[in-house]
Structure 1
Amino acid sequence: MLSNPTPHPTTRVDAALAKIEAGFRELRDAGFDELSTNPQRVVVTQRLETIGRTVPGFVYPLINTIERQWRCGELGDHNVANTLADALRISPSEARTRIRIADDLSPQVTFSGARRNPTYPATAAAVADGAIGDEHVKVIREFFRHVPLDVDNETAELAEQKLAEQARVLRPDQLRTAANRILGYLNPDGPKPEAERARKRSFTLGPQGADLMTKGSFCVDPELRAYLEAAFAKYAKPGVLNPADEESTVEEDPAAETVKRDDRCLEKRQHDALKAILRDALASGTLGQHRGLPVTVVATMTVKELEEASGTAITGGGSLLPIRDVLRMARHARHYLALFDDAGRPIYLGRSKRIAQGDQRLVCFAKDKGCTFPTCSRPANMCQCHHCREWVAQLGLTDVDQLALVCDTHHPLAGVKDTDWHAIVAGADHKYPGRILWVPPKHIDPTRKPRINHYFHPHEYWDD
């Protein structure tokens, strides 16, 4: 959340960095035209690669120290990953990965203040020397995720030393082969089935593509597989739940002609079956509530998009959903309507109680679409309703135009003190009237200039 600082060479670190930056500028200005042969170019490329690989050896201890000395709100956010993501302009997932690697490759400090070696000391030394890269580190860390828990520390340390030595001379793909061979020595009988299954289970949805389709990966345990097999046996049969055939149904066995018309492959039939199963579960009302609303799909759109049946709505989970799909889904859903004025501001809806009601949360879903804190990407279904005017300190009412969606991570940063972030509603003269603005504390920005989150309104990135 902090602005990029202006370098002032007041320390030895600043002076050393200034020399490095000057050296890179000189190298860029010199160019490589004077290198006349490919052997020369390969040598220079190797030297640059070593320099690049050396940098993480400096960065990881810095990240580790930042994490150890972290104070909530000091740098404008609630956790280290968000701060690093904003400062380095990397994704939060990449920031979390770097933090985990920093924990493994940096010296640790015990509660008594004593320093101890990194978790992987030989690997850390190789990184500091610029001898190995990120892919080598990934192979070594993956290796230890598969080492049996009953392997003693001395054996594990010897394996790490051997892998770090090999990483200095092998490519990552070659190192993976060597790691697998060592793993075979450490665990000749293979992993314990129950522990290995528990460690591997996963279900991951990737980001939506430009066509709004989503790829993912999963590794399901035997129990979930059994459930899927039972469901697919009925719902994924040829002629059942075919979206291209109005006569296709699940209530009874399909007619022979219906089966014949079904040209879907098994993968597509299973996709359509899983969609129908989840749709029925959401429509049943048996899944209870989440943050005061029934567990269902909440999609928001404009009146123009609805009338034209074109464009996309945004769901409470932050996904984009074609309007035509929304209209088709509405036949199976509980219906909610949120009204806005011509300027896009929610029509007044007040409550005398402190807790926002379900209908107010729906309006907040529609107007905010996700966490309103600057740069946050958490969707609406991961947020609470925050009072822009504090309920007690400022006698605030639970009016929908004074409520803001804020995720669990950033909500603790909000308050009425000078060291807190303040949420306010943009006035009629603002570029985005009715939107939520966040005023940073003085130690983050002495001018306390309000900030706005454009993440869920991406067209605004081009407006500024």
Structure 2
Amino acid sequence: MTFISTQTAAPVASALSALSALMSSAVDALTLVSTAAIDYRDLDDGTLLELHRLAARERQLVEAHAAVIAGEIAHRSAPSLGHSGLAQRNGYRTPEELVRVSARSTAREASAAVRVGLQSRDSQLASTPQRPWLVAVSGALVAGSLPVASADAIQSGLGEPALTVSIPMLASTAEQLVAEAATLDPDRLFRRARQLRDELDELGVADRERERRERRSLRFTRQPDGMGRLTWLLDPESAAVAAELYDRATSPRRGGPRFRGELETTAERILADPRTTEQLASDVFLELLRHGAAADDSALLGSGAPSVRVLVTATALASGIGCGRLEGQPDPISIQTVQRLACAGAVMPILFDQGQPLDVGRDQRLFTHRQRIALAARDGGCRFPGCERPPSWTEAHHVKQWVRDGGSTNVADGILLCRHHHLLIHNNGWEITRKGSQYWLVPPPDIDPGQAPILMPSKSSAMRDLARESA
């Protein structure tokens, strides 16, 4: 028989009653908020966006409560407790399964809630937290200012301390990421966390590159209906090769750059093809496999091999210290990989001065192939804020328009934009201005009456490497 002290039980019961009452009141209050579409139909844009912001705030607070509870469930379901743990006593193998079923969430959402909840519990209750560099992340979560997915992105992206990455360094970076999370969705936040970790730990780039290469795989599965499925996981270097071939086959279909000359004829043929984009890509890769299997291995696929651009600063290449970048890929590659790729192919130096590649004058309206290479190295893709289209999906836009403003076709006055944002600039009254090597986006008055300029940062990791060297 178990005896419970009444002196302890009363305050605990009172606290539980208060928590339950508060949460019930919150549910009741949310129930009163209309979900009828007619109530939102006639709202002006500003009010609608403000309600969207408030709804996001509601969701973050709810997620914070759910994560803290999930963390406690996981703590009471620790593997060391075996069948006496909370999850197994209730018929679930793991706390993630209990959370997923009871909350009717996805397995991914439940796993994130448990990971973040356990971290929050540790940060708040442990005298010496296991991951002290994440205290700021847990604080923002429980305050309701950081969604669970964003907290998990920072936690997963930053990783653990290493010989060259101390706990204070990670803590400072975590605080920076919490601040940046206000304008980044979880996927972009994860990539940003990986980027900052790579900048902190250049010596670990080669190890992480090797780990990713070890995870490469190709699986063929026969489906019950006779179809076959290929599941292909590629390391960044291999993915760059496959992506270049995929872009060749499908770019005109996906709003890629406009073409001229012989390429224009090819683009028109691809656009007129009755197959879907996915069918076209499948058939092209199958033909490559067929031709490759029958080809002389000394001339595999002829002279049209994929062209993968490697970006590296001259200092890093000469010294053998630092890292490089594969165009269109977010993660760095080791300087050893850069040197190997440089040895296997031609090297095209691009000289920069004050953040700009060397340019040409107003001899032609369209940007040349070499100018496009320079723009891709500088911009890293579409520079419209929030857009992630790679260089191969972009068009070169004249900052000073060619016809209207007499703009020049030079690299400094060119900027890469995907087709969607290129059309947006021309058709919806947006403007782009340049101050030195910085580009600013000016919204039309109906979007922002004050027309406050918005910085258009480069998406090129190589340019960040160059900026750090120059600092």
TM-score by length of 1: 0.43
Counting helix residues as a fraction of each chain, which structure ranks higher? 2
